[in-house]
Amino acid sequence: GEDVEQSLFLSVREGDSSVINCTYTDSSSTYLYWYKQEPGAGLQLLTYIFSNMDMKQDQRLTVLLNKKDKHLSLRIADTQTGDSAIYFCAENRRGSYIPTFGRGTSLIVHP
Amino acid sequence: KAGVTQTPRYLIKTRGQQVTLSCSPISGHRSVSWYQQTPGQGLQFLFEYFSETQRNKGNFPGRFSGRQFSNSRSEMNVSTLELGDSALYLCASSPGGGPSNTEAFFGQGTRLTVV
């Protein structure tokens, strides 16, 4: 299987919460990231969490990390149409200079 | 602070030609990484340069090459273009001093179409 796995699509209604999930395989991961890519644009770093943390909150974004299960999630509260984008999970392994990316989850927000 | 700048934004080339893409990182950043993004393969790492040296390399054929200049600007070159090279090429810049945090800042990409 792939090193970082995400489901490909998620559809939510405007105003609901979105939860995007990610699993990774390397227990030595030190930092885990969430990036957002809007159509025709590059990747924008949304937030990251250090591996010794369980949770990080930043306005409408909540990141949860379960190190035991190697599971990372991104919760977007009160999802808006402007949140429609592809969301990439990435991990940075101990000693590595290069993050490993998942294939991205397309979030579709409908009225 | 200016972001990561990639030029050109769009390119159309013919099979067999070669192409050079450019990336100017954020001022003070010494690491530049290149990625190829396609719908089928997702985001694939090409190579990373730090202080003018290739520090990491992905699994791409030798037709893909790059370099970094003393001002940290980087170029990547693809020779003998194939239809499958059509993709969005993304450049990412990071401070690069150590492996502990590779928070990367991406440019908007160069959309290459090979016909």
Model pLDDT for residues B76-100, shown as the tens digit of each residue: 999 999 999 999 999 999 887 665 5
- Average pLDDT of span B46-75: 95
Share of chain B above pLDDT 70, in %: 94
- Rounded Cα–Cα distance for residues B31 and B37 (Å): 19
pLDDT at B40: 77
Nearest to B48 among A41, A48, A98 (CB): A98
Within 8 A by CB and 6+ apart from B36, the residues are: B43, B44, B46, B60, B87, B88, B89, B90
- Rounded Cα–Cα distance for residues B86 and B24 (Å): 22
- Averaged pLDDT in 10-residue chunks for chain A of 111 residues: 86 97 86 91 90 91 94 97 95 78 94 89
- Rounded Cα–Cα distance for residues A13 and A76 (Å): 12
pLDDT at B11: 96
- Average pLDDT of span B30-43: 89
B66-71 contacts, C-beta under 8 A, 24 or more apart: B66/B34, B68/B32
Smallest Cα–Cα separation from B105: which of B28, B21, B52, B46?
Answer: B28
Is residue A103 within 8 Å of B42, Cβ to Cβ? yes
Q: For A41, what's the count of Cα atoms within 13 Å in the CB-facing half-sphere?
A: 14
Nearest to B105 among A30, A45, A97 (CB): A45
pLDDT at B46: 95
Higher confidence at residue B19 or residue A97? B19
- Rounded Cα–Cα distance for residues B67 and B75 (Å): 6
- Rounded Cα–Cα distance for residues A64 and B86 (Å): 36
Apex A56 CA angle, A53 and A62, nearest 5? 135
Cβ contacts (< 8 Å) between B101 and chain A: which residues?
Answer: 30-31, 48, 92
Question: Between chains, do B104 and A99 touch, taking CB under 8 Å as contact?
Answer: yes
Structure tokens given for B8: 């050109």
pLDDT at B100: 53
Closest-CA distance of chain A to residue B29, Å: 14
pLDDT at A29: 77
pLDDT at A1: 59
Smallest Cα–Cα separation from A31: which of A104, A87, A101?
Answer: A101
**pLDDT above 60 for B101:** no
Question: Between chains, do A97 and B101 touch, taking CB under 8 Å as contact?
Answer: no
pLDDT at B97: 64
